[in-house]
Amino acid sequence: MESMPKPSMESDDKLHIVMLPWLAFGHMIPFLELSKLIAQKGHTVSFISTPRNIDRLPKMPPNLAPLINLVKLQLPQVEKLPENAESTTDLPYDKVKYLKMAYDQLQQPMTQLLADMAPDLVIYDFAPYWLGPVAAKLGISSVLFSIFIAASLCFAGPIPVLKGEDDRTTPEDFTVTPKWIPFKSNIARFRLFEVKRVFDDVTSVDDENIPATYRFGAGIEACDVLAVRSSYEFEPEWLKLLQQIHQKPIIPIGLLPTTAYDSSDNGEAWTEIKEWLDKQSKRSVVYVAFGSEAKPNQAELTEIALGLELSELPFFWVLRNRSSVADTEVIELPNGFEERTKERGVVCTSWAPQLKILSHDSVGGFLSHSGLSSVVEAIQCKPLILLSSWRTQG
């Protein structure tokens, strides 16, 4: 963190840094991992979220807990937002916009909190696009931390494009390399079937809410530094291009693999899973999991299940048949699937310790939804089989 802007103080002074992630666990967990890295340098972190989300975060390592203050900020109630809904995992996709409305009402209490805390630095997510100007008025340096890699941010475009001046209006427009990317790359474009899955998310303008792209544009415009979940070893050309596009300092902070701490070793759940994995041959098991919020539709789920069955490979499948507790569109496995595969497969419908499963010698591959956190966890130890462009809640 030494290259981030600092107030005028002695170089050996410790900083107080405020973190404000968006209310999705795919955002909160990387922000928490970054908080741990900052705390390891001896700095103090105030990690801010809503009460229910704070209570659901992983346990903090004992050596870092004194330096990471978990601050609970009450989420305002808005019409159409279900009671006790404080994260995207609590909501079906079409209700997430009301969570963003409630989140935007945190501007005034966050302003007061920053004034009272007087931190040296605030690190914020794409959603609180209003926080950069607030920090500037209070004389606080600011960093927008993107959990998305530099290639994704380059594809999204410069600030005017993010804020609405985008001439890409059809799905086909997103299947070619944007004009601001000067080199050829298959990364810098969608395949048509992929973009059709997310086209409404990319281009829609909702009268009830601020588009995600606008939030990113305004947030980047107002920050002093743009931090990216990436590294120069991973995507050097994209990080250099990102700096050219936005003309401000870019800090790649690494891929932030999860370092969850749990003194109970995950208890009975892991014991039972490990017993089953121990019985399987080395590198024979396909681990299947699509994250906490991505969800296939019924036709996709059926095809995945039948494909696993035809493969005749042992598998461990962590299956979420609904994207949230409020999701009424429950998906189901094909009739007889579990009975036909019970000798070589496990379908787990509850929580499972993904890092421990991926690290087990019997697991030979990971079938995933392409979420960056899952990809980062897997590339440390296992080959990946990726399904892309499933709509998530972030």
Which two tokens mark 205?
A: 């303008």
pLDDT tier at 4, thresholds 50, 70, 90: very low
Which H or E run includes 384?
strand 384-386
Task: Compute CA 199 distance to the chain's CA centroid, rounded to the nearest angstrom.
Answer: 19
What is the CATH topology of the domain spanning 16-252? Rossmann fold (3.40.50)
| pLDDT tens track for 253-288 | 999 988 866 655 456 789 999 999 999 999 999 999
| pLDDT tens track for 126-148 | 999 999 999 999 999 999 999 99
Q: Which residue has the higher pLDDT, 221 or 259?
A: 221
Residues 6+ apart with CB under 8 A from 256: 30, 33, 34, 37, 229, 376
Please check whether residue 217 is in contact with residue 243, taking contact to mean a CB–CB distance below 8 angstroms. Answer: no
* pLDDT computed for residue 212 by the predictor: 92
Distance CA 51, CA 28 (A): 13
Mean pLDDT computed over every residue of the chain:
89
* Burial classification of residue 230, based on how many CB atoms lie within 10 Å of its CB (0-12 exposed, 13-18 middle, 19 or more buried): buried
pLDDT tier at 324, thresholds 50, 70, 90: low
Tell me if 16-252 shares its fold with 267-386: yes
What percentage of the chain reaches a pLDDT higher than 90? 70
Q: Which residue has the higher pLDDT, 377 or 163?
A: 163
pTM of the full structure: 0.88
Catalytic positions: 27, 125
DSSP 177-214: --TT--S--STTS--HHHHHHHHHHHH---TTS--HHH
Distance CA 349, CA 321 (A): 8
* Burial classification of residue 26, based on how many CB atoms lie within 10 Å of its CB (0-12 exposed, 13-18 middle, 19 or more buried): buried
* In the chain, where the domains are located: 16-252, 267-386
Domain 267-386 CATH assignment equals 3.90.79.10? no
